[in-house]
């Protein structure tokens, strides 16, 4: 699952991060063969070469930690550990002359559920000199960097060839900062002027090696813009590609990614803040109803109802979230909503589909995420021998995994007034729980990359799901299995999906993107 890429100055070698399983490929561009493959960390995304091209710096997406690796051997030379609530670090830049690397990320404050306090934009500088008297890691709070002007979703950064100017783009608020690089090991960067407006959802920024032009990719305008480097005055614009999907899908993605009105009035948070491109943010949130792990959205169109508590039966119900405390937006529909009464499932009584083109577009985008085949298979549709043994156990009536995790999406989630929810013995683990002990059955597809597990995230591994988190055999019957049988079962779970599920089931929702046939 490749993500980041960087090349040597001569263009003869490429280094590519693989988010899962956290590796780097070295590729010879003469024949595009992989010459090295080495471990890089966990869920690695951003990558930068040191100026001497002897080392690479890699970010871990969910921890905002940075690893320094020697390219000749793949050996880890150093590590800069992120703080507990640092998150979503997808890119990194090395200074051309100073021993510094820079990367943007967010801070996910999981104990605060409020538009003014849950998500913060941040920017971290790491000293790579290795000298003991240097501050190894410093983080700048970008929420106050522009005074009272709030920016959101810091995405990428770039440094001018002379090392004097640094640029940071914010995809949630469609703007950026120009900064002076300070050689003081204290403030590190200084804002130049005010935030500069860009196109819709800027996701990449690069500086021409001659220093005379800056390039910005505006992902949801599908344009590449060229700018003058000192003021970011736009010099030219060109179309990068046609939208890959329908206008409704594009509009839905814009709404999903933005921290602007009408989605929020505070500019701090977006749907994207916790569901980056439909993935999980890897966090367990202290929600009003109890601890909740952020689930990935892949397969959502086929596994309604929504939430661990199955309290929403359409994506349009998230109008409650848009208008609520978490986002404090103005909403995408007109008129009042049925008031919430404690933890009653009010949304199940409210039909918001076809009430707003924007809300329906948001549903179309949100329901569009699919799967890639698991890397833990021998070939498409072919399991390893160990996984085959695990499959037999999974479908064994005595083990009973498939009694709930059924069908092509390995979930018995069912639309309708009653739905299907189950008590699997985890509802009493959290004293803050308000809506348990029964929960919706999540899909098992893509499980290999979505630890931790269960609604409260207390199972750090799949083996813990079967053992320490299933002591009373309420989540399938696993206590009688041997260690090797449990390992076989884990291997099968990691192999999902080993074949692609169908695009249509009896539980598939109406509002989703469907390619023209």
Summarize pLDDT for 22-31 with one digit per residue, the tens.
999 999 999 9
Whole-angstrom distance, CA of residue 293 vs CA of residue 432: 14
Percent of the chain with pLDDT over 90: 94
Burial environment of residue 261 by CB neighbours within 10 A (0 to 12, 13 to 18, 19 or more): exposed
Contacts of 119 (CB under 8 A, 6+ apart): 106, 107, 108, 109, 152, 268, 269, 273, 274
Which residues, in sequence order, are bridge partners of residue 166? 159, 179
Instruction: Report the candidate in 283, 384, 324 with the shortest Cα–Cα distance to residue 115.
Output: 324
Helix 357-366 with 247-257: angle, nearest 10 deg:
90
Whole-number Cα distances in Å, 370 to 296, 302, 313, 448: 10, 10, 19, 15
Tally the domains of the chain.
2
In a domain, 132, yes or no: no
Residues of the domain holding 270: 247-366
CATH number of the domain at 417, please: 1.10.760.10
Whole-angstrom distance, CA of residue 290 vs CA of residue 427: 10
In a domain, 380, yes or no: yes
Contact 168, 154 (CB under 8 A): yes
Tokens of 353: 């589909």
Contacts of 262 (CB under 8 A, 6+ apart): 322, 329, 330, 331, 332
Higher pLDDT, 1 or 3: 3
In a domain, 401, yes or no: yes
Contact 466, 489 (CB under 8 A): yes
- My answer on whether 342 and 387 are in the same domain is no
DSSP state of 459: B
- My answer on whether 446 and 475 are in the same domain is yes
Which residues, in sequence order, are bridge partners of residue 228? none
Whole-angstrom distance, CA of residue 161 vs CA of residue 181: 12
Contact 105, 87 (CB under 8 A): yes
- My answer on whether 359 and 386 are in the same domain is no
* Average confidence score pLDDT of the chain: 96
The whole-angstrom distance between residue 399's C-alpha and the CA centroid of its chain comes to 33
Tokens of 103: 């990367």
Q: Give me the residue label for tokens 């690893």.
A: 67
In a domain, 196, yes or no: no
H or E stretch at 235: strand 234-239
Contact 454, 465 (CB under 8 A): yes
pLDDT digits (tens, 9 = 90+) for 345-395: 999 999 999 999 999 999 999 999 999 999 999 999 999 999 999 999 999
Tell me what pLDDT residue 514 has. 81
Residue 176: which pLDDT band, with cuts at 50, 70 and 90? very high
Taking residue 377's Cβ as centre, other Cβ atoms within 10 Å add up to 18
Contact 202, 171 (CB under 8 A): yes
Q: Give me the residue label for tokens 């792990």.
A: 293
In a domain, 98, yes or no: no
- My answer on whether 385 and 360 are in the same domain is no
Tell me what pLDDT residue 418 has. 62
Convert 436-456 into a string of H (helix), E (strand) and C (coil): CCEECCCCCCCHHHCCCECCC
The CA R_g of the chain, rounded to the nearest whole Å, is 24
Tell me what pLDDT residue 132 has. 85
Tell me what pLDDT residue 1 has. 87
Tell me what pLDDT residue 153 has. 98
In a domain, 308, yes or no: yes
- What are the start-end ranges of the H helices in 167-324? 247-257, 271-274, 319-323
- My answer on whether 330 and 396 are in the same domain is no
Domain boundary among 366, 398, 419: 366
- My answer on whether 256 and 333 are in the same domain is yes
Whole-angstrom distance, CA of residue 100 vs CA of residue 50: 9
- My answer on whether 384 and 487 are in the same domain is yes
Tell me what pLDDT residue 102 has. 98
- My answer on whether 397 and 493 are in the same domain is yes
What letters, b where the CB count within 10 A reaches 16 and e where it falls short, cover 151-160?
A: bbbbbbbbbb
Domain boundary among 348, 366, 384: 366
Whole-angstrom distance, CA of residue 17 vs CA of residue 23: 6
Tokens of 195: 């935030």
pLDDT digits (tens, 9 = 90+) for 476-516: 999 999 999 999 999 999 999 999 999 999 999 999 988 76
In a domain, 11, yes or no: no
State the average pLDDT over residues 53-62.
98
Tell me what pLDDT residue 516 has. 67
Tell me what pLDDT residue 417 has. 58
Q: Give me the residue label for tokens 């000293």.
A: 127
Percent of the chain with pLDDT over 70: 99
In a domain, 156, yes or no: no
pLDDT digits (tens, 9 = 90+) for 282-331: 999 999 999 999 999 999 999 999 999 999 999 999 999 999 999 999 99
pLDDT at residue 245 greater than cutoff 90: yes
- My answer on whether 285 and 360 are in the same domain is yes
Contact 17, 46 (CB under 8 A): yes
Whole-angstrom distance, CA of residue 254 vs CA of residue 389: 44
Domain boundary among 332, 349, 366: 366
State the average pLDDT over residues 44-50.
98
- My answer on whether 446 and 424 are in the same domain is yes
pLDDT digits (tens, 9 = 90+) for 400-425: 999 999 999 999 999 875 678 999 99
Instruction: Report the candidate in 416, 411, 405 with the shortest Cα–Cα distance to residue 505.
Output: 411
pLDDT at residue 517 greater than cutoff 60: no
- My answer on whether 271 and 339 are in the same domain is yes
- What are the start-end ranges of the H helices in 9-101? none
Average the pLDDT over each of 157-161, 227-231, 415-419 and give the range with the smallest value.
415-419
- My answer on whether 391 and 491 are in the same domain is yes
pLDDT digits (tens, 9 = 90+) for 104-132: 999 999 999 999 999 999 999 999 998 88
pLDDT at residue 197 greater than cutoff 60: yes
Instruction: Report the candidate in 72, 83, 27, 19 with the shortest Cα–Cα distance to residue 47.
Output: 19
Tell me what pLDDT residue 184 has. 82
């Amino acid at each position: 699952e490749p993500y980041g890429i960087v090349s040597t100055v001569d263009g003869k070698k490429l280094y590519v991060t693989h988010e899962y399983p956290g590796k780097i490929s070295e590729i010879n561009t003469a024949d595009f063969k992989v010459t090295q493959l080495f471990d890089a960390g966990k869920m690695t995304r951003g990558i930068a070469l040191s100026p001497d091209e002897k080392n690479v710096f890699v970010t871990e997406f969910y921890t905002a930690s940075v690893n320094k690796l020697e390219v000749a051997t793949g050996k880890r030379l150093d590590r800069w550990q992120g703080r507990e609530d640092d998150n979503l670090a997808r890119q990194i830049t090395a200074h051309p002359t100073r021993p510094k690397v820079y990367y943007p990320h967010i801070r996910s404050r999981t104990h605060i559920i409020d538009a003014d306090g849950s998500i913060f934009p941040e920017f971290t500088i790491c000293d790579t000199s290795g000298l003991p008297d240097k501050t190894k890691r410093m983080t700048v709070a970008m929420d106050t960097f522009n005074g009272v002007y709030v920016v959101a979703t810091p995405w990428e950064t770039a440094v001018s060839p002379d090392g004097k100017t640094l640029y940071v783009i914010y995809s949630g608020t469609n703007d950026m900062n120009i900064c002076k690089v300070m050689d003081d090991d204290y403030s590190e960067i200084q804002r130049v002027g005010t935030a500069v407006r860009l196109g819709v959802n800027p996701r990449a920024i690069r500086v021409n090696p001659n220093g005379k032009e800056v390039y910005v990719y505006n992902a949801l305008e599908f344009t590449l813009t060229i700018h003058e480097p000192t003021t970011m005055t736009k010099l030219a614009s060109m179309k990068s590609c046609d939208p890959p999907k329908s206008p409704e899908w594009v509009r839905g993605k814009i709404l999903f990614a933005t921290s602007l009105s009408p989605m929020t009035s505070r500019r701090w948070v977006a749907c994207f803040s916790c569901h980056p491109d439909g993935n999980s943010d890897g966090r367990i949130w202290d929600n009003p109803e109890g601890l909740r792990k952020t689930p990935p959205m892949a397969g959502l169109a086929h596994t309604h109802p929504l939430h661990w508590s199955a309290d929403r039966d359409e994506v349009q119900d998230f109008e409650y979230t848009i208008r609520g405390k978490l986002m404090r937006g103005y909403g995408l529909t007109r008129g009042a909503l049925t008031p919430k009464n404690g933890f009653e499932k009010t949304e199940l009584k409210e039909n918001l589909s076809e009430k707003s083109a924007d809300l329906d577009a948001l549903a179309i985008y949100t329901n569009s995420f699919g799967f890639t085949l698991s890397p833990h298979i021998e070939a498409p549709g072919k399991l390893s021998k160990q996984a085959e043994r695990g499959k037999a156990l999974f479908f064994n009536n005595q083990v009973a995994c498939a009694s709930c995790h059924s069908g092509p999406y390995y979930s018995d989630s069912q639309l309708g007034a009653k739905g299907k929810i189950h008590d699997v013995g985890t509802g009493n683990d959290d004293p803050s729980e308000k809506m348990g002990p029964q929960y919706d059955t999540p899909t098992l597809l893509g499980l290999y990359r979505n630890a931790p597990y269960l609604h409260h995230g207390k199972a750090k591994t799949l083996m813990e799901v079967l053992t320490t988190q299933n002591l009373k055999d309420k989540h399938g019957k696993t206590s009688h299995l041997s260690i090797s049988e449990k390992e076989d079962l884990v291997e099968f779970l990691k192999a999902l999906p080993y074949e692609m599920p169908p695009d249509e089931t009896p539980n598939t929702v109406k509002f989703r993107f469907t390619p023209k046939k």
